[in-house]
């Protein structure tokens, strides 16, 4: 018998446009795109494949149906009857979140409906997020006796401690305007404009030189855990390397010559 996933098609959809923007769409709409083991495994393998694809400029993460992602599949969680199995599932989820953080190109979440628990963790694990004005966010595990400890890792690296703890301790939904004020997302747009706004943002980033985007994202990630002096030492080395790259040579010459840059091929 087919599972609910296979009955409606692949659990993860992928599409690429001419600008090199790859859209990954969580495709369990009837389950509000809950992160089953199958979906997590598909995300992990797809991210690994795309990470080595030089044609990818920007990754856009979205959800099919009425929600972005409602977190883990609770029915699946209840079927796990030992700690080792649970650890395997949560470990796989952590690997997916780290893969998003370490992905060599910018990753943008396009959020509509709810993004709760591990779904909120997905948003926080992306480099940027754009949301519809009807989007809602929460880490509601406390309401069912399962504290959102793993979502807290990404959440506390995006918003201030007190904001994060209010979300984690109350489990209450916040609206998109509040998420914007807290720094969880970058922008709020009317629901009908979400697709166009997300693609416009992705296309503008995709027009920048990909090697420089990759270098810069890695540098930002690496310095975040360092002290200020060490961070300056590390990023100075990155900029010195960057200055001698073909992209910087062309970009600076183009600026001096008052012409558009002709970026080297990836």
Residue 3: pLDDT above 50? no
- Report whether pLDDT(178) > 50: yes
Residue 9 has pLDDT above 70, yes or no: no
Q: Which residues pair with 15 in a beta bridge?
A: 23
Can you list the pairs that 245-253 forms with residues at least 24 positions away whose Cβ atoms lie under 8 Å?
245/211, 245/212, 245/215, 247/209, 247/211, 247/212, 248/212, 251/209
Residue 225 has a pLDDT of: 85
pLDDT, one tens digit per residue, over 107-153 is 999 999 999 999 999 999 999 999 999 999 999 999 999 999 999 99
Q: Which residues are within 8 A (CB) of 86 and not within 5 positions of it... i.e. 6 or more apart?
A: 77, 80
Q: Is the pLDDT of residue 6 over 80?
A: no
In the prediction, which pLDDT does 4 show?
43
Domains of the chain: 4-206 (3.90.226.10), 210-257 (1.10.12)
Q: H helices within 131-190, ranges in order?
A: 149-155, 161-170, 176-182
d(CA 97, CA 200): 25
- Which residue in 217, 18, 41, 39 sits closest to 128, CA to CA? 217
Give the global pTM: 0.92
Q: Annotate 253-265 with b (16+ C-beta within 10 A) or e (fewer).
A: eeeeeeeeeebee
Average pLDDT of span 148-174: 96
Q: 């001698």: which residue's tokens?
A: 244
Confidence (pLDDT) at 264: 85
C-alpha angle 196/106/249, rounded to 5°? 110
CA 224 from chain centre, in angstroms, equals: 17
Residue 8: predicted pLDDT? 44
Q: Residue 129: which H helix or E strand, with range?
A: strand 128-132
pLDDT tens sequence across 54-94: 999 999 999 999 999 999 999 998 998 899 999 999 999 99
Mean pLDDT of the chain: 93
Residue 25: pLDDT over 60: yes
Contact 52, 108 (CB under 8 A): no
pLDDT level of residue 266 (50, 70, 90 thresholds) = low
Q: Which letter, b or e, does each residue of 170-205 get, where b requires 16 or more Cβ atoms within 10 Å of its Cβ?
A: ebeebebebbbebebbbebbeeeebbebbbebbbeb
pLDDT band at 28 (very low <50, low <70, confident <90, very high): very high
Of 211, 220, 223, the closest CA to residue 249 belongs to 211
Residue 35, pLDDT above cutoff 90? yes
Neighbour order of strands in the sheet with 114-116 = 114-116, 136-138, 174-175
Among 147, 107, 141, which residue's Cα sits nearest to residue 125?
107
- How many Å apart are CA 190 and CA 194, to the nearest integer? 6
Interaxial angle between packed helices 210-223 and 246-257, expressed in degrees from 0 to 180 and rounded to the nearest 10: 110
Q: What gap in Å lies between CA 247 and CA 203, rounded to an integer?
A: 19
Predicted confidence at residue 10, as pLDDT, reads 93
What local confidence, expressed as pLDDT, does residue 81 receive? 87
């Amino acid at each position: 018998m087919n599972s609910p996933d296979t009955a409606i098609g692949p659990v993860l959809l992928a599409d690429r446009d001419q600008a090199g923007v790859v859209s990954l769409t969580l495709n369990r709409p009837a389950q509000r795109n809950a992160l089953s083991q199958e979906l997590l495994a598909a995300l992990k393998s797809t991210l690994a494949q795309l990470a080595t694809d030089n044609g990818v400029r920007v990754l856009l993460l979205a959800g099919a149906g009425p929600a972005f992602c409602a977190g883990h599949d609770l029915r699946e969680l209840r079927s796990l009857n030992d700690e080792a199995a649970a650890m395997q599932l949560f470990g796989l989820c952590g690997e997916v979140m780290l893969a998003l953080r370490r992905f060599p190109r910018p990753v943008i979440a396009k959020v509509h409906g709810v993004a709760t628990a591990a779904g909120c963790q997905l948003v926080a694990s992306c480099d940027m997020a754009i949301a519809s004005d009807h989007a809602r966010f929460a880490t509601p595990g406390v309401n069912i006796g399962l504290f959102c400890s793993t979502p807290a890792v990404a959440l506390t690296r995006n918003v201030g401690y007190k904001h994060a703890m209010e979300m984690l301790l109350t489990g209450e939904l916040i609206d998109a305007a509040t998420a914007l004020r807290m720094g969880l997302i970058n922008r709020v747009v009317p629901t009908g404009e979400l697709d166009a706004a997300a693609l416009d943002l992705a296309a503008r980033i995709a027009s920048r030189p990909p090697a420089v985007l990759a270098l810069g994202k890695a540098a930002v990630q690496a310095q975040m855990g360092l002290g200020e002096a060490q961070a300056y030492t590390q990023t100075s080395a990155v900029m010195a390397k960057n200055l001698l790259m073909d992209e910087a040579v062309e970009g600076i010459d183009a600026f001096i010559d008052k012409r558009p840059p002709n970026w080297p091929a990836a």
